[in-house]
């Protein structure tokens, strides 16, 4: 039978422990717990027949679990009980509102037991608790501490050093703060860039305020507004911003986005004050529990009168699902600009790249790492000259979590993949990151 174990304040550093055992027919296919393609914040198993789940959690504290209620009569309801878990963790409706709405349609599901929880509901439920004795008072105090720890704001600090074969150098410092208002995530981002080459030494400062939320169980939207200030002897300030719309689509997701940004990746780009408007569409779908696909299109318009069309396709297959997770895949990229503007960014005609890649991800309580390498071939024309190159490179990160609310990592990336950097040269990036939850 299906079992659900709930342990409150039993395991150290785990105020709430939720364990679920799925009891199902062996021939019914399912996928082990892993990040969901619709929302990578969610981890849970998947029923590959109906697309639901029996237990899933989201990184913002939202969770759901379901067990079948055996009645001795075969279930013939039109809706899978696993959809209850799926729909709750993918949505932003409070647990109370979700259950209230469920009453009107409960006959569409077979008999079940359902456990739900979210950040807002936990806070509201805590306020309604009244201790009857000293022991309950201590338990409520521990619960309050656990909720406060999970809802605390986060601070993300990074530094990156960039260098390439054209002697561009860049020091980039970024600081981001994020938190929660109900079930909506907000963030403040600041980034400072010092860029130099053989003849220039310029700077750029970016500031952005963002908010992202799920509008319904199917649609999510978010946006941000900010500005970029450039310094190259004089000072110029330009507005920036973004908007995105995401939707559940089939077994995966799709969406659209619009961004307006100022390019600050080299001293030449800062000097030329290049602004870019980007309009993009994407779709990602899991074909099986191991095989997934991604397709994306972008149209770019530049302040120097240039524009470009870009298409990216990715297929990835997980060889090993358990730790360490090992995957292989293929990436295709097409990029075509109207002209070569000479403004300092990589602007090829008929750029085509094919890359095969492999990746490894591993984590435990105190350590995590991600490593990826690729090899492939690229061809393009630029300024009347044809280029055909074998390309190779990779990226990786290594991190430690000495305490639960602190992560310290080092990231590196490099290669001769021309479309991998703004300037189109062989490049290398390295830098530390510190993530802290207050």
All domains of the chain, ordered by start, with CATH? 3-123 (no CATH), 156-437 (2.40.160.10)
For 43-57, what is the mean pLDDT? 82
pTM (global) more than 0.85? no
Distance of CA 79 to the CA centre of its chain: 30
Categorize the per-residue pLDDT at 418 as very low, low, confident or very high, splitting at 50, 70 and 90.
very high
Q: What is the pLDDT of residue 134?
A: 73
Q: Of 56-60, 175-179, 305-309, give the lowest mean pLDDT range.
A: 56-60
**DSSP three-state, residue 193:** strand
- If you compute the radius of gyration of the chain from its CA atoms, what whole number of angstroms results? 25
| In the chain, % of residues over pLDDT 90 | 51
Q: What is the pLDDT of residue 12?
A: 59
- pLDDT tens across 13-23, in order? 566 677 777 66
Structural contact between residues 141 and 134, judged by C-beta atoms closer than 8 angstroms:
no
Distance of CA 261 to the CA centre of its chain: 20
Whether the pLDDT of residue 149 is over 60: the answer is: no
Tokens of residue 275, six digits: 């602004």
Structural contact between residues 67 and 4, judged by C-beta atoms closer than 8 angstroms:
yes
In terms of pLDDT, which residue wins out, 20 or 342? 342
Whether the pLDDT of residue 314 is over 90: the answer is: yes
Please give the DSSP secondary-structure letter assigned to residue 108: G
Please give the C-alpha separations between residue 135 and each of 11, 13, 140, in angstroms, as whole numbers.
18, 20, 9
Residue 4 makes CB contacts below 8 A (sequence gap 6+) with: 18, 19, 20, 21, 55, 65, 67, 113, 115
How many Å apart are CA 381 and CA 325, to the nearest integer? Answer: 38
Whether the pLDDT of residue 270 is over 90: the answer is: yes
Q: What is the pLDDT of residue 354?
A: 98
Q: Count CA atoms closer than 13 A to 107's CA, side-chain side.
A: 1
């Amino acid at each position: 039978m299906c079992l659900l174990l709930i342990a409150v304040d039993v395991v150290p550093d785990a105020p709430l422990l939720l364990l679920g055992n799925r009891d199902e027919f062996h021939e019914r296919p399912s996928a082990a717990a892993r990040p969901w393609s619709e929302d990578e914040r969610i981890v849970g198993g998947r029923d590959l027949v109906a697309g639901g789940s029996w237990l899933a959690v989201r990184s913002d504290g939202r969770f759901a679990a379901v067990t079948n209620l055996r009645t001795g009569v075969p279930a013939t309801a039109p809706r899978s009980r696993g959809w209850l878990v799926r729909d709750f963790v993918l949505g932003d409706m409070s647990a109370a509102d979700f259950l209230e709405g469920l009453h009107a349609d409960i006959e569409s599901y077979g008999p079940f037991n359902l456990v739900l929880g979210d950040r807002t509901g936990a806070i509201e439920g805590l306020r309604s608790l009244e201790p009857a004795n000293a022991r309950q008072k201590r338990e409520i105090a521990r619960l309050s501490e656990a909720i406060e720890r999970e809802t605390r704001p986060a601070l993300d600090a990074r530094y990156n050093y960039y260098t390439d074969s054209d002697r561009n150098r860049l020091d980039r410092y970024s600081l981001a703060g994020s938190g929660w208002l109900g079930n909506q995530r907000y963030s403040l981002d600041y980034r400072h860039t010092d860029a130099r080459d053989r003849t220039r030494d310029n700077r750029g400062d970016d500031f952005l305020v963002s908010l992202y939320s799920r509008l319904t169980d199917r649609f999510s939207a978010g946006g941000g507004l900010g500005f970029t200030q450039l310094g190259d002897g004089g000072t110029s300030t330009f507005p920036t911003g973004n908007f995105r719309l995401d939707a559940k689509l089939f077994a995966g997701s799709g969406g659209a986005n619009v961004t307006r940004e100022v390019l600050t990746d080299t001293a030449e780009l800062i000097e030329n004050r290049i602004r870019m408007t980007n309009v993009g569409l994407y779709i990602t779908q899991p074909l099986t529990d191991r095989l997934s696909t991604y397709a994306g299109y972008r149209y770019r318009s530049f302040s120097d009168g240039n524009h470009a069309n870009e298409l990216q396709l990715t297929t990835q297959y997980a060889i090993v699902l358990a730790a360490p997770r090992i995957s292989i895949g293929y990436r295709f990229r097409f990029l075509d600009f109207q002209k070569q503007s000479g403004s300092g960014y990589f602007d090829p005609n008929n750029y085509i790249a094919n890359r095969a890649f492999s990746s490894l991800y591993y984590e435990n309580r105190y350590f995590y790492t991600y490593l990826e390498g690729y090899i492939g071939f690229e061809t393009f024309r630029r300024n009347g000259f044809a280029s055909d190159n074998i390309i190779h490179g990779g990226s990786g990160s290594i991190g430690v979590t000495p305490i639960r609310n602190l992560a310290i990592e080092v990231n590196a990336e490099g290669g001769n993949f021309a479309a991998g950097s703004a300037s189109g040269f062989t490049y290398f990036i390295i830098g530390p990151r510190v993530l802290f939850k207050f």
